[in-house]
Structure formats: C-alpha cells, structure tokens
Copies of this chain bind each other. A is one copy, B any other.
Amino acid sequence: MNEFELIRRLTRDLPSNRHVVAGAGDDCAVLDLEVPNSEVLFKTDSVVEGIHFTKDTAPERIGHKALARCLSDIAAMGGSAISVLVTLALPTGFDPKSIEAIYTGMTELAKRYQVSISGGETTSNPERLLISIAALGLVPKGKSVLRSGGRPGDAIFVTGELGGSIQGRHLEFEPRITEAKWLAQNFQIHAMIDLSDGVASDLRHILNQSKVGAELLSDAIHISRAARSQARAESSAKPPLLAALTVGEDFELLFTVASKDAVPLLDAWKKKFPKLRLSCIGKVTAKPGIRLNDKTGSRELTLHGYMHFAQS
C-alpha cells in the first residue's frame, strides 16, 4: 500500500456534513457556510526542516515559503485567501530571533495580499522545525476551479518556466494569486492546480479526477535556465526536460480551458501579464495516461517521470 493508495482508502469514508461542497482530493476543501454569493476554501500545508528547507535556510525565507505554498493552493482554486493561522513546532533551543524572522517573512507576503494572520500556536518538535499553515479563503459560489473539470479537447496551459526550483526559486516564489484570480474571473477555466510536485504528478491529479488523459508537446515546455544549468553542472542530474516535468516546487499554475478559448486567452494574457510566459503545452485526451510527443515519436510519461518509447 503506497501513500496514494493509503490516502485514498482513508479519505473514502471520512465524515461529511451538509456544509461540504468538496472534501479531500482537491487543492482545498470547499465549504458552504451560506456566505452570500461565496463559498469558503479551507486548506492546510506544512514545511519541514530537512525536506522543504535546510537547517541553514534564512528564517525569513522559510516563513515566506510556508505561507506562499498555502496561498498558492487557495489561488489554484480561483479563490482569495482571507486569513491564516500559523503553527510553529520548534526544535530545542530554537533562537527567538529566528521566530521573529519567520514571522517577518510571512507578514510581508500576507500584507501584499491583504491576508490576516489571526493567531496560531507554538509547540515543541525537538529535532527539527516544522511550520503548518491553515488558510481560509473565499471563492465566488459555484466557481471554485476543481481538478475534476478537465474535458477531452481542452488546451493545457502552464505559467512561467519549469524545473530548477531547488536553485532558489522554491524559497522566494511569488504565489500566482493575481494571475489565478484574473484567469478565474475572465475565462472559464475547466481545471487548475498549482505545481508542487511537477507536471508529471500534478497534471495526473487533474487527469485522474477528470477521468481523461493528455498529450504534451516536448517543444512547448519551457525549461528554466536554472534547470538547464543544473543539468550541465551535475552529470547525475536529470536531463532538463525530465527535470522540468518531474521535479517539484515550481508553484506555477497548470490549467485547462476549452480549445476555442485558447487563443483569446493567450492574447489577453500577453496584454495583462507581458512579463510572465504562458505556454500551451498540450491537450486533454479521452484516452488515459500522459503521452509526450516530439519529432522522434511518442513516449509515455509515468507517475515517477520515467519515459518509455511507445510500443505502438
């Protein structure tokens, strides 16, 4: 039983009630609390020392990353974050100045998007720092962009450049809050997710929930400079394209729209966000799985990112 199977099993029979519009299985839970014209988004996300940052990462950047990840999830539902609570699980002997610096990193980001930090708690986790953020947001009623809305024929888009986030971007990325809200308000986005684990994994979440597949065009995937230089520097590093598709923490937006909306969306995007690339990287297919097409043929992209040349 792997983690995904376990989670699926655990979340199958969770208690629900009349308030739950969407529970486990999307970027956020969606709740109906009878807010006029809105639904409530509810999300938690953690970062752990040794996994999401190292012992010597500057605490301001840890705080920024912890909050940015959670705001990115709210954004990927087409919603706006309202309020967060901060849980700090502190290792033995943790410097109070570092706690203040963590809060500084979070506060600067929160203020930029009018998000309140409404409390939380500190507890002890002797061996390592762990930060968990709980976030509440609002989304126009019935307009939350779920993972399950992808349809065959949809165009698949991704913002920015992929890969190489470990070089630094994962600690300083700006969550795509403005862009996601603009997308949700101006176009009918069928499905959206933020890229935390890489396209090969996160696109699969959309495809599985939507019961569809996808064909991607290798040439359309914009690989970051960081991913290219990393591949050159380390002989053991993944080739840049594989890194761009399978390495996580890009925190870009991945979404699908009806093919008829693809060109108008691209045109409008270029006017609105001239500095941020938007790439159409492929299309949704009725056939399950992810195929990666280039001049040399068609390959399958598996969950863990390994590619096999097509049998057919």
Interface of A toward B, CB cutoff 8 Å = 1, 3, 6-7, 9-11, 13-17, 19-20, 23-26, 29, 31, 33-36, 38, 40, 42-46, 48, 50-51, 82-83, 85, 87, 89, 96, 99-100, 103, 107, 110-111, 114-128, 130, 132, 134, 136, 138
Contacts and interface: CB of A to CB of B under 8 A. Distances in A.
Contacts of A45: 121
For this chain, the copies found in one complex come to: 2
Contact of A127 (B3, B23, B114, B127): B127
Nearest to A134: B134
Given A7-B122, A10-B103, A51-B123, A83 B31 contact: yes
Contact of A85 (B44, B99, B114): B44
A119 B83 contact: no
Nearest to A26: B119
Contact of A13 (B14, B89, B107): B107
A219 B114 CA distance: 51
A43 B85 contact: yes
Given A15-B107, A29-B119, A87-B132, A125 B82 contact: no
Residue from A1, A34, A127, A138 whose CB has the most chain B CB atoms within 10 Å: A34
Nearest to A28: B119
12 contacts: A3-B122, A6-B96, A10-B99, A10-B103, A13-B107, A17-B116, A19-B83, A19-B116, A23-B119, A29-B85, A42-B85, A44-B87
Nearest to A43: B85
A89 B99 CA distance: 21
Contacts of A99: 6, 10
A136 B40 contact: yes
Contact of A48 (B3, B33, B111, B124): B124
Q: Which 7 A-B pairs have the closest CB atoms?
A: A24-B119, A134-B134, A29-B118, A14-B117, A127-B127, A23-B118, A15-B110
A113 B45 CA distance: 25
